[in-house]
Homo-oligomer: A and B are copies of this chain.
Amino acid sequence: MSAPAATQALRIDQARLIERLDQLAQIGPIDGGGSCRLALTDDDRRGRDLVVSWMRELGMAVHIDAIGNVFGVRAGTRELPPVMTGSHIDTVRTGGRYDGNLGVIGGLEVVQTLNDAGIETERPIVVAFFTDEEGARFAPDMLGSLVYVGGMALDEALDVRGIDGARLGDELERIGYAGSAPMTTLKPAAFVELHIEQGPVLDAEGLTIGAVEDLQGISWQELTITGQSNHAGTTPMRLRHDAAYAAAAVANFVRQLTREMGGSQVATVGKIDLHPNLINVIAARARLTVDLRNTDETLLQQAEQRLGDFLQQLAKDEGVTIESRQLARFEPVIFDAGVVQRIEAVTSRLGYSQRRITSGAGHDAQMLARICPTAMIFVPSIKGISHNPAEHTEPADLAAGGNVLLHTLLELASQET
């Protein structure tokens, strides 16, 4: 469909977009300009309250479902399934100001641009933010959107315990975001998520827009290694059952595994907790996490298999027991070719440089892809830095992403799509 010239010329307001990003970043601020709003904490609540107030100012109807996902609805001219955009506003402990936030505030900026221009769409436009996308407090990550698409039972999700022992359902009630909207009322005709790349590709190649065509599979497990605490001076090396050494051996193995597998395989041990964690005591227990990702499901399973084999041998050699608990497992996702092509077409029309790209991170869009045509729009992250207060994207690139989102949504919101 081709829109009238006035519509074609429409652009979002860069200053306003950045102003809202700055305001949100001031909730749960951390040194370096980032934010810490772990899911369902008081700071997450304050962030939610602010975004909901913006939705209301924009005349949107706000729906909150039972897992705390929030949907702002801008009415359409016809009774049709809506076009949805959005992302998340929860962060990791060392979060930047754009991860997630850009997709939500970008959606609001699109709505305000349409409001100010007096442009109506046939389909409603929904701007959503989903609960606990990061998974930094409650595993698995992308929990809210997973429940939304029916990939996890609501009751199971509400019973999830956080790293601080808190029950997700209780925290949801506590911050006042246990809503009543049924999960199904807003089944979208399409979903588009604007997000920073969180990787170095666009920045390194000097490109403005990434049309995301697929997304890595993710495998998260928590390992609990039980050895025997003993005196660090008097225990001969051959008689040790050292949980700390075993944990270190795992971290070294997965690094080696990525060297051998190459390609898109990445592996991270980001969390290690030792007990008793003392200088002169051989550790009795280690709890660590392993994050494996690959765009190819077969290779990802191969990585999991090789890690499993290694753990068996390690347990035997060191005389420790190793229990593995899967925290999250998502297969790689291929986004909808039609929506990806539409993003590419809009980007060319607007005159931005671009490439097709793979997402190395998990995103709510991968869950929405289960129920409707879905794709994502990436803008560059300087040096690929993310999950870090130094996370940065140039204002012009933020605006470019907003404009691509604006015109992609405009097209999708016309009945023909």
- A interface vs B, CB < 8 Å? 92-94, 134-136, 139, 141, 197-200, 216, 218, 220, 222, 228-237, 239, 242, 244-245, 247-252, 255, 258-259, 266-274, 276-284, 289, 291, 293, 327, 359-362, 384-388
Cα A251 to Cα B250 in complex, Å, equals 11
* A141 CB contact (under 8 Å) in B141, B280, B387: B280
A230 touches B270 (CB 8 A): no
Choose one: B232, B251, B271; the contact of A266 (CB below 8 Å): B232
Total identical chains: 2
CA distance A233 to B134 in the complex (A): 12
Instruction: Supply 4 further A-B pairs (C-beta < 8 A) apart from A92-B278, A136-B280, A231-B361.
Output: A220-B280, A235-B384, A245-B269, A284-B388
State in angstroms the CA–CA spacing of A141 and B280 once bound together: 9
A interface: dominant SS: loop
Given contacts A235-B199, A235-B384, contact A279 B271 (CB under 8 A): yes
Q: A281 to B245, alpha carbons, bound, how many Å?
A: 22
For the complex, what is the distance from the CA of A258 to the CA of B236, rounded to whole Å?
10
Q: Is the CB of A94 within 8 A of B229?
A: yes
12 contacts between A and B (CB under 8 A): A93-B278, A197-B234, A199-B236, A234-B361, A245-B251, A248-B250, A248-B269, A252-B252, A268-B280, A270-B283, A271-B278, A278-B387
Q: Shortest beta-carbon distance, A195 to chain B, in Å?
A: 11
For residue A280, which residues in chain B have a CB less than 8 angstroms away from its CB? 92, 134-136, 141, 220, 268, 270, 291, 387
Q: Which residues of B contact A251 (CB under 8 A)?
A: 244-245, 247-248
**In the bound complex, CA of A64 to CA of B93 (Å):** 47
- Quote the shortest CB–CB distance from A191 to chain B (angstroms): 20
Query: Is B385 a contact of A230 with CB atoms below 8 Å?
Result: yes
A247-B248, A248-B251 known; A279 and B231 CB under 8 Å?
A: no
Question: A53: shortest Cβ distance to chain B, in Å?
Answer: 29
- Asked whether, in the complex, the Cβ of B266 is within 8 Å of the Cβ of A136, the reply is no
| A55–chain B nearest beta-carbon distance, Å | 28
What 7 A-B pairs come out closest when comparing CB atoms? Answer: A199-B234, A248-B251, A234-B360, A232-B268, A248-B248, A279-B289, A233-B360
